[in-house]
Amino acid sequence: MDKKIFYILLMLIPTILMAQMTTDYLGGNNFNIETSTIFSGDLNDGSTGLETAMSIGLWFEFMGYSDRGILPLKDELSVSLTLTNSALYAWRGYTLESGEYVSFTPDDVTSDQADSIWFDNISAELMYGDFWLKTTGLSPEISVSQASIFSVFDSIMANTTASDKNPMPLPLFSQGNWYVDGIMSVIGRDLLGAVNVPKNRQVPVGGLLSSGYDGEDFQIDVSAGSWTNGVDNNENAWVFGLNFNWKPTLDSTLEFSSLAAFNYENIIDEDNNLTVISKNPIAVGLNYERRVKIGEKSILKPVIGTDIFYNQEQNNLEWEVGGGLKIYQHGSNNSYYYEVLGGSGDVGLFIAANINQDNQVNSIITFNEDPNLSFIPKTGGFFQIELMNITEINNQDFLWAGVGQVEHLINDKATVYIFEKYIPGDVENKTYSKEIKTFNSKIGLRLLITDNFDIDISYERTDILNKFTDDVVDLGLISTMFRITM
């Protein structure tokens, strides 16, 4: 079988066409396409296959603006359209049944490939000076920021759009597609009130209108959303949001977020015959941080925050209070992107913890290092450690999970990396338990052939240690990804 994989790989390499596309755009407009095909071979059963994906990013501004050297302020009324990280997934496989090969489609992809299109964000807005009006968009979301606990990967954890398509959703302890009774997240906004009920601090809407002001030291936005359109929204279910970010001094920042929902308690999802939220939440998040410079480049930021959630239907108040430290070893304006996470994180070390009204204590410790800036030459990486229910309330165990990657730049064209993820539970059966340990390990080599073409060769395996049943030892998966970006 090893020889077959080798020969197939040799045949595939000549079929890859390398291409470059240069297009001139006016103003701040830009456009990019990323395509990839992955060949993989499963060492457990000898199966092989290909998976092809494409993503598109677009920023198009119909009217230009002048840069005054501080902020790109608009001199006149202008409109813009953004579309980020949209994707079209092409997937076709074959399985052997009764001696014949039969075409099939995976559960999350229909035979109509148009149904496989999704995107992270789309927006259309009108701008004048620092003011804006957004008629279409997914941001700002009408949700409450997690003010009392944080991570270098906050932007990834906040992205809930098409989360089932994310390479690896964070936090590790989260709602996602998992559900077990009791505590199951280090992030309060992910905690569930009942099976299949949406997150407490996010309210689903069918329409969203928002407006705001983006100044240098003060930004504010207000949003309004409804469950559905004016004809079908018979319960008049509405939600309103208010957020602001204020820098009272050069070294301090105050962030505030809030939402209030009305008439959502009786809304029914007809497709699933479930109450959509069964709550009319009023929620507030407040966060304050102070900037302290250490040495020539390093920055320390002590942070405190609180999250308050009130359920109008049940007259129930929930709260979290927390804080921690943000340490930026190379300054606070650096970030680094990871393919495995599908996003970027701040370069730094963040240590955070919070406590809620039930005395549940959670903590997140994260670190991210850019190999181009690292104190260890050309070596960087990240880790995130999540500590859930440290105080073991409700007679439930304290659990921890972790994920990390170390990568080394061999030269400008080659990067080697080692990845490891640990979850205390059975991923397939969707349960958390200290008696079950799931390890996902990966080692790979990424080769940059040209500016627009790279190859990623990797070996990956998932092993499970289970005190109740036999352990699962994975022989692993060998993959080669060919990717063209334009």
pLDDT computed for residue 237 by the predictor: 85
pLDDT computed for residue 281 by the predictor: 79
Distance, CA of 312 to CA of 429 (rounded, Å) = 35
pLDDT, tens digit, 9 for 90 and up, residues 254-267: 999 888 888 877 77
pLDDT computed for residue 124 by the predictor: 81
pLDDT computed for residue 332 by the predictor: 87
Q: In the chain, what are the domain boundaries?
A: 130-192+201-319, 331-485
pLDDT computed for residue 176 by the predictor: 41
Please choose, from the candidates 256, 245, 317, the residue with its C-alpha nearest in 3D space to the C-alpha of residue 281.
Answer: 317
pLDDT computed for residue 265 by the predictor: 77
- Mean pLDDT is lowest, of 66-75, 295-304, 437-446, for 66-75
Residue 155 sits at φ, ψ, to 5 deg, of -65, -35
8 A C-beta contact, residue 101 and residue 86: no
Higher per-residue confidence, 108 vs 343: 343
pLDDT computed for residue 432 by the predictor: 79
pLDDT computed for residue 145 by the predictor: 61
Query: Among positive and negative, which fits the CA dihedral 179, 182, 188, 192?
Result: positive
Considering only CA atoms, give the Rg of the chain.
24
Q: ω before 106 within 30° of 0 (cis)?
A: no
Residue matched to tokens 């071979």: 41
Residue 388 sits at φ, ψ, to 5 deg, of -110, 130
Q: What is the mean pLDDT of the chain?
A: 77
pLDDT, tens digit, 9 for 90 and up, residues 234-249: 888 888 889 999 999 9
Higher per-residue confidence, 334 vs 60: 334
**Side chain identity at residue 353, one-letter code:** A
Q: Which of 17-26, 119-128, 201-210, 290-299 has the highest mean pLDDT?
A: 290-299
pLDDT computed for residue 185 by the predictor: 64
**Residue 164 clears pLDDT 50, i.e. is over it:** no
Please choose, from the candidates 156, 189, 195, 154, the residue with its C-alpha nearest in 3D space to the C-alpha of residue 174.
Answer: 189
pLDDT, tens digit, 9 for 90 and up, residues 299-338: 999 999 998 888 887 788 888 999 999 999 999 889 999 9
pLDDT computed for residue 478 by the predictor: 95
HEC per residue, 166-222: CCCCCCCCCCCCCCCCCCCCCCHHHCCCCCCCCCCCECCCCEEEEEEEECCCEEEEE
pLDDT, tens digit, 9 for 90 and up, residues 6-45: 443 443 343 333 323 333 333 455 677 778 888 899 999 8
pLDDT computed for residue 109 by the predictor: 46
pLDDT, tens digit, 9 for 90 and up, residues 416-443: 999 999 999 877 766 778 899 999 999 9
Distance, CA of 485 to CA of 103 (rounded, Å) = 30
pLDDT, tens digit, 9 for 90 and up, residues 372-385: 999 999 999 999 99
Distance, CA of 304 to CA of 315 (rounded, Å) = 27
pLDDT, tens digit, 9 for 90 and up, residues 466-481: 988 889 999 999 999 9
8 A C-beta contact, residue 204 and residue 133: no
**Residue 284 clears pLDDT 70, i.e. is over it:** yes
pLDDT computed for residue 54 by the predictor: 72
